[in-house]
Structure 1
């Protein structure tokens, strides 16, 4: 605490005047603010999808059936080129998983598609239990 002397015109007496030094208080408050910011959990929204690692060698006797799900810029979902809604997508995914050999699912969202629409479709694919999922069309983004 700092003290300064002030003179009164009428009394001509010296009175100590106490002023609080706020620098340590500000320092402590800044440290606490940084600690609270660091302890806030980072909110992440992600859909975990297990993608195949490396190239898969195909044998001649393996079933090469593929289904393609695409999302255009307007958010329209297409199954092998035919427009469908999310309920129909879930039904098609369940039907494809009942096959003896699970067909490969190729997923191709348009670059202008909304993230929410792509995320919802990926969540539906994940909930269905699809194991063979591939993202196609990414080669056009190789060069920026």
Structure 2
């Protein structure tokens, strides 16, 4: 038996990389990452009254603060000159023995910084009964 010299070639090396082990390792690392990341809860701690809480002794006083699209403030419908006047009114409200409820109603076109300024001023003076009202205008 004779074997021709041209038929006895060595096989060429493969140039392709085997990506299956690489993908397996990456999937394992991804699963480990997902498991080890703590779950982020977007919760707001609100102290709710208990079922046995007594009703309030008197009707709470409500102060409505409107924020206009121009960034101006209205205190129960009365325009305020500037943020300094808003701060003075909030300081007076915080000094009352029974703090009023602050209902902040920003206009749909109001700038965020004007709303945030009103909230930070109320928080700075120690007002705790603050609520954003009028959110129905943002529903589609």
Q: TM-score, normalised by structure 1?
A: 0.57
Residues 26-78 of structure 1: CA deviation (Å, up to 9, x unaligned): 34235535655773886x7x9x6958769x9555xx47644221112233233
2:69 alignment counterpart: 73
Q: For the residues of structure 2 that align with 1:51 and 1:107, how far apart are their CA atoms? A: 20
Q: Which runs of 5+ in 1 are unaligned?
A: 1-9
Deviation at 1:86, TM superposition (A): 3.5
Given that residues 49 and 126 in structure 1 are in contact (C-alpha distance below 8 angstroms), is that contact kept between their aligned partners in structure 2? no
Residues 123, 110 of structure 1: alpha-carbon distance in 2 compared, 3 angstrom cutoff: same
Q: Which runs of 5+ in 2 are unaligned?
A: 1-5
Alignment of 1:42-61 (within 5 A): 59=57
Query: What SS is found at the alignment partner of 1:14?
Result: coil
Q: For the residues of structure 2 that align with 1:51 and 1:123, how far apart are their CA atoms? A: 20
Alignment of 1:56-135 (within 5 A): 59=57, 62=58, 65-80=61-76, 81-135=78-132
Aligned pairs, number: 128
Q: TM-score, normalised by structure 2?
A: 0.58
